[in-house]
C-alpha cells in the first residue's frame, strides 16, 4: 500500500494550512506521513485514545471501482481480530474522502529495526515468525490475503509484532487504476505466482513471511535487491540466498520459500515448528528479553530515534532495497510497434524548410550505462522478453478472447487526453502516422527511474536508449533525440515534426510544461514520435506522472 503504513508511529509533523482538522469526527493532531494511497494523520478518539487515520488520495477517491473494492476490503479487515494485527477501529468508506482508522502502535517497523540494529538473533526471529504466522491465521480466516507482507508492514511493540495493511492493497488492484503491468506488492518479497500475475492464495503470504524472516535473520534480501526486474526473475527462477541465515533457521525458511504454493507450510505448521525449536523451548512467549537490548530501549523510550525519519516513515532506504511503489506499463495497440531499423522505409524530404540547430543539451547523469544494460539484456533473453513485466504472463489468452489488447483507459476529463490523441493523419503535409500506444499514464517514483519512450513504461534509470529522464526539475533527453513544446494544448504528430524542424528545444523544465502543456520527442531514427503531457510533479516525494502516446510512420 505504501512505505508509510497506518498504525506506525511516524515523525510528527504539524498540520499545514491545507490539512483538515477533523475527519469522521476524529480530531487530527499531526501528520504522520504520506504514501502511495493517502496521507496518514495522528488522531484521537473522543475519549483521548490515539489512532492512525489514513485519508485516501483524491485520484483514488474519484474512481468508483477503487471505492467499491476499498469498502469490501475494509469490511473484511474489520472482521480480523488477531492479537498480532493492528485492529481496524473505524472507517468512512462512503465519505467524499474515504478514510481508515487503525490502532496506533508506538513502535518502529521491522524494516527500521534491522536498518538501525542489524540482523536479529535466531530466537527473536523465531518468535517473530510465530507472531506473524498467528496474525496470518486471523487474516486468512477472514478470507483476506495480505499481498504485501514485508518488514515495513510489521511493527514492533514491546509485546510482539503487529501486522498492518492487511488486504487493503487489493483495493488498488482494480482494472481502472492498475492498468496492465502493475503488480500489487513489493518485488523482493513476492511469491513466484504473484510475480507472474497468477492467483494469490494464503500460501503467497507464507512465502513473503519466509523472505521477511530471511532478511531479518541475515540482513540480506534472499533474492537480492536492485531493479525490480532482476528481483522478480530470481524469485521465479532461482533459489534463495540463505548463506547469511543462521543454520538452525535454514530448513524452516527454505520450506516457506518453496516455489510451488502447495509445498509451503500453512501458518499453523509454522507455529508448531517454532514451538518445537530448541531455541524457543516450547514457549514462544514475548516476555522480557525477546528483543535485543538496543531495540527494547528504543521502543521503551517512546521517543524519536536519531537519524532521518521516525517510526514507520520508511525513509531509511538502503542501497539494496527495491522501490516499493508499483508502476503501470502501456500495452501496445493492435498495430504493434515495428522495428524502425528493419522497416526499410525511407523518410520523405522535409516540407518544413531549413532545420534550426538546437542548443547544446544537458548531459545525462554520469553513471555508466553498460553494466545495467547488459544485465537487463541478459534478463530479457533469459525470460524471452518478459523479465520486466511478469504480470502479462498468462494474460495473452484473455486478450485474445476479447478480440484485442487492453490498453490504459483514456482520460476524457484531462487536457492530456485531447492533446495526446490526435488523428494520425491530422495534417496532409509530411508522412502519416499510426499509433502504437495511447494515453499511457505513468509515474516515475523517483530519479532512479525513467520513462521508456519506445515501450511506454517506467524502467530503472539508464537501462534503455530512448528515454525521458527526470532530473532536477526538468526532463533530460538522449543526445540524439529532438523535442518540441506546443504553444497551445493540442499537438499532433505532424505538428510535432513541423515544430522540431523549426523550433527544436533541448531544455524541458517542468515550469514550462505546467497545466499539462504537451510536448513531443522524436526518436533518433526520426520514424517515431511520442507526445507527452506532464500531469503531476511532486518535488518533496520525487515522483513525476506523465501521459504518453507513441506514433510511428506508416508505410
Per-residue pLDDT reduced to its tens digit, 419-452:
334 443 334 456 888 888 888 888 888 788 899 9
Confirm whether 44 is domain-assigned.
Answer: yes
Confirm whether 306 is domain-assigned.
Answer: no
Could you tell me which residue, 227 or 335, shows the higher pLDDT? Answer: 227
> What is the pLDDT confidence band of residue 124, given thresholds at 50, 70 and 90?
very high
* Burial annotation 8-41 (CB, 10 A radius, 16+ → b, else e): bbbbeeeeeeeeeeebbebebbebbbbbbbbbbb
Rounded CA gap, 182 and 171, in Å?
Answer: 13
Q: How many CB atoms lie within 10 A of CB 424?
A: 16
Cα radius of gyration (the chain): 25
Distinct helix (H) and strand (E) counts, the chain: 17, 18
Taking 60 as the threshold, does the pLDDT of residue 305 lie above it? no
Q: Do 71 and 121 lie in a common domain? A: no
> What is the pLDDT confidence band of residue 167, given thresholds at 50, 70 and 90?
low
What's the confidence (pLDDT) of residue 185? Answer: 66
CA angle, 431 then 433 then 436, to 5° = 155
Could you tell me which residue, 179 or 291, shows the higher pLDDT? Answer: 291
What's the confidence (pLDDT) of residue 515? Answer: 77
> pLDDT > 70: what percent of the chain?
70
What's the confidence (pLDDT) of residue 430? Answer: 66
Give how many domains the chain has, as a whole number: 3
- End-to-end C-alpha distance for the chain, whole angstroms: 45
Taking 50 as the threshold, does the pLDDT of residue 399 lie above it? no
Q: Do 137 and 247 lie in a common domain? A: yes
CA distances from 133 to 191, 203, 260, 277 (A): 16, 11, 19, 15
Single out the residue in 266, 301, 336 at which a domain terminates.
301
Single out the residue in 301, 318, 343 at which a domain terminates.
301
Picking from 119, 121, 113, the residue whose alpha carbon sits closest to that of residue 219 is: 119
φ/ψ of residue 40, rounded to 5: -105, 130
Taking 60 as the threshold, does the pLDDT of residue 516 lie above it? yes
Contacts (Cβ under 8 Å, ≥6 apart) of 474 = 362, 507, 508, 509, 510
Confirm whether 115 is domain-assigned.
Answer: yes
What's the confidence (pLDDT) of residue 330? Answer: 38
Task: Please state which of the ranges 134-138, 183-187, 508-512 shows the lowest mean pLDDT.
Answer: 183-187
CATH number at residue 45: 3.30.200.20
Q: pTM value?
A: 0.55
Q: Report, as an integer, the average pLDDT of 394-398.
A: 37
Taking 50 as the threshold, does the pLDDT of residue 244 lie above it? yes
Confirm whether 5 is domain-assigned.
Answer: no
* The residue to which cell 488522531 is assigned: 43
Active site residues: 148
> What is the pLDDT confidence band of residue 191, given thresholds at 50, 70 and 90?
very high
Q: Do 480 and 454 lie in a common domain? A: yes
Are 84 and 162 in contact by the 8 Å Cβ rule? The answer is: yes
Taking 80 as the threshold, does the pLDDT of residue 387 lie above it? no
Per-residue pLDDT reduced to its tens digit, 476-510:
999 889 999 998 888 899 999 999 999 999 889 99
Task: Please state which of the ranges 97-106, 169-178, 251-260, 345-354 shows the lowest mean pLDDT.
Answer: 345-354
Confirm whether 479 is domain-assigned.
Answer: yes
HSE-CB at 394 with a 13 A cutoff on CA atoms is: 9
Picking from 155, 172, 179, 144, the residue whose alpha carbon sits closest to that of residue 56 is: 172
Are 88 and 7 in contact by the 8 Å Cβ rule? The answer is: no
Single out the residue in 264, 283, 301 at which a domain terminates.
301
Cell of 262: 502447495
- The pLDDT mean for the chain works out to 76
Q: Report, as an integer, the average pLDDT of 536-554.
A: 86
CA distances from 192 to 32, 146, 170, 206, 381 (A): 33, 15, 18, 12, 19
Q: Do 61 and 144 lie in a common domain? A: no
Rounded CA gap, 499 and 524, in Å?
Answer: 16
Confirm whether 190 is domain-assigned.
Answer: yes
Contacts (Cβ under 8 Å, ≥6 apart) of 378 = none
Q: Which residues are annotated as a binding site for ATP?
A: 54
Could you tell me which residue, 403 or 200, shows the higher pLDDT? Answer: 200
What's the confidence (pLDDT) of residue 61? Answer: 86
Confirm whether 383 is domain-assigned.
Answer: no
Q: Do 257 and 200 lie in a common domain? A: yes
Taking 80 as the threshold, does the pLDDT of residue 30 lie above it? yes
Q: Do 291 and 440 lie in a common domain? A: no
φ/ψ of residue 482, rounded to 5: -120, 155
Q: Do 130 and 261 lie in a common domain? A: yes
Q: Report, as an integer, the average pLDDT of 340-349.
A: 32
The residue segments making up the domain with residue 35 are: 13-103
DSSP annotation string for 94-151: TSSS-EEEEE---S-BHHHHHHHH-SPPHHHHHHHHHHHHHHHHHHHHTT---S---G
Q: Which residues are annotated as a binding site?
A: 54
Q: Do 71 and 131 lie in a common domain? A: no
Q: Can you list the pairs that 502-505 forms with residues at least 24 positions away whose Cβ atoms lie under 8 Å?
A: 502/352, 502/353, 502/355, 502/356, 503/356, 504/355, 504/356, 504/357, 504/358, 505/358
What's the confidence (pLDDT) of residue 36? Answer: 66
Picking from 327, 326, 333, 325, the residue whose alpha carbon sits closest to that of residue 439 is: 333
Q: Do 290 and 249 lie in a common domain? A: yes
What's the confidence (pLDDT) of residue 218? Answer: 94
Q: Do 77 and 116 lie in a common domain? A: no
Confirm whether 379 is domain-assigned.
Answer: no
Could you tell me which residue, 170 or 179, shows the higher pLDDT? Answer: 170
> What is the pLDDT confidence band of residue 223, given thresholds at 50, 70 and 90?
very high
CATH number at residue 161: 1.10.510.10
What's the confidence (pLDDT) of residue 40? Answer: 85
What's the confidence (pLDDT) of residue 426? Answer: 39
Q: Do 50 and 150 lie in a common domain? A: no
What's the confidence (pLDDT) of residue 423? Answer: 40
Are 212 and 154 in contact by the 8 Å Cβ rule? The answer is: yes
Q: Do 258 and 274 lie in a common domain? A: yes
φ/ψ of residue 535, rounded to 5: -90, -45
Amino acid at each position: 500500500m505504501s512505505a508509510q503504513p497506518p498504525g506506525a508511529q511516524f515523525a510528527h509533523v504539524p498540520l499545514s494550512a491545507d490539512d483538515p482538522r477533523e475527519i469522521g469526527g476524529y480530531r487530527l493532531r499531526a501528520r504522520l506521513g504520506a504514501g502511495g494511497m493517502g496521507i496518514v494523520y495522528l488522531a484521537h478518539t473522543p475519549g483521548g485514545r490515539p489512532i492512525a487515520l489514513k485519508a485516501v488520495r483524491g485520484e483514488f477517491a474519484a474512481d468508483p471501482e477503487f471505492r467499491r473494492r476499498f469498502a469490501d476490503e475494509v469490511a473484511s479487515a474489520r472482521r480480523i481480530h488477531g492479537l498480532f494485527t493492528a485492529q481496524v477501529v473505524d472507517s468512512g468508506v462512503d465519505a467524499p474522502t474515504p478514510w481508515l482508522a487503525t490502532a496506533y502502535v508506538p513502535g518502529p517497523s521491522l524494516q527500521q529495526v534491522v536498518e538501525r540494529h542489524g540482523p536479529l538473533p535466531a530466537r527473536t526471529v523465531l518468535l517473530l515468525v510465530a507472531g506473524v504466522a498467528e496474525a496470518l491465521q486471523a487474516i486468512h480466516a477472514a478470507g483476506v490475503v495480505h499481498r504485501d507482507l514485508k518488514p515495513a508492514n510489521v511493527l514492533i511493540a514491546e509485546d510482539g509484532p503487529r501486522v498492518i495493511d492487511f488486504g487493503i492493497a487489493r483495493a488498488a488492484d482494480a482494472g481502472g487504476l492498475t492498468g496492465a503491468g502493475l503488480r500489487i506488492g513489493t518485488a523482493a518479497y513476492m511469491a513466484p505466482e504473484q510475480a507472474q500475475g497468477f492467483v494469490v492464495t494464503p500460501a503467497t503470504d507464507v512465502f513473503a513471511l519466509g523472505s521477511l524472516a530471511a532478511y531479518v535473520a541475515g540482513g540480506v534480501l534472499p533474492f537480492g535487491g536492485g531493479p525490480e526486474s532482476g528481483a522478480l526473475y530470481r524469485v521465479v527462477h532461482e533459489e534463495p540466498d540463505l548463506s547469511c541465515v543462521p543454520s538452525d533457521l535454514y530448513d524452516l525458511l527454505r520450506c516457506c520459500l518453496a516455489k510451488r504454493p502447495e509445498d509451503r507450510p500453512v501458518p499453523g505448521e509454522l507455529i508448531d515448528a517454532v514451538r518445537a525449536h530448541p531455541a524457543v523451548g516450547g514457549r514462544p512467549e514475548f516476555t522480557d528479553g525477546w528483543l535485543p537490548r538496543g531495540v527494547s530501549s528504543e521502543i521503551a523510550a517512546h521517543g524519536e530515534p536519531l537519524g532521518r525519519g521516525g517510526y514507520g516513515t520508511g525513509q531509511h532506504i538502503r542501497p539494496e532495497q527495491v522501490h516499493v511503489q508499483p508502476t503501470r506499463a502501456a500495452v501496445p495497440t493492435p498495430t504493434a510497434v515495428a522495428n524502425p531499423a528493419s522497416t526499410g522505409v525511407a523518410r520523405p524530404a522535409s516540407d518544413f524548410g531549413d532545420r534550426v540547430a538546437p542548443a547544446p543539451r544537458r548531459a545525462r547523469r554520469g553513471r555508466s550505462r553498460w553494466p545495467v544494460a547488459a544485465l537487463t539484456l541478459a534478463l530479457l533473453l533469459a525470460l524471452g522478453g518478459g523479465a520486466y513485466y511478469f504480470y502479462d504472463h498468462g494474460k495473452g489468452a484473455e486478450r485474445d478472447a476479447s478480440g484485442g489488447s487492453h490498453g490504459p483507459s483514456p482520460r476524457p476529463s484531462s487536457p492530456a487526453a485531447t492533446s495526446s490523441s490526435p488523428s494520425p493523419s491530422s495534417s496532409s503535409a509530411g508522412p502519416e502516422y499510426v499509433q502504437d500506444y495511447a494515453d499511457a499514464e505513468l509515474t516515475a517514483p523517483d530519479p532512479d527511474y525513467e520513462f521508456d519512450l519506445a515501450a511506454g513504461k517506467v524502467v530503472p534509470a539508464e537501462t534503455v536508449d530512448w528515454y525521458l529522464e527526470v532530473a532536477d526539475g526538468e526532463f533530460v533527453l538522449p543526445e540524439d533525440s529532438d523535442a518540441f513544446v506546443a504553444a497551445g494544448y493540442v499537438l499532433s504528430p505532424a505538428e510535432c515534426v513541423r515544430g522540431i524542424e523549426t523550433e527544436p528545444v533541448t531544455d524541458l523544465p517542468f515550469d514550462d510544461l505546467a497545466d499539462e502543456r504537451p510536448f513531443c520527442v522524436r526518436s533518433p531514427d526520426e520514424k517515431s514520435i511520442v507526445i507527452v503531457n506532464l500531469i503531476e510533479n511532486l518535488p518533496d516525494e520525487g515522483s513525476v506522472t506523465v501521459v504518453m502516446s507513441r506514433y510511428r510512420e506508416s508505410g
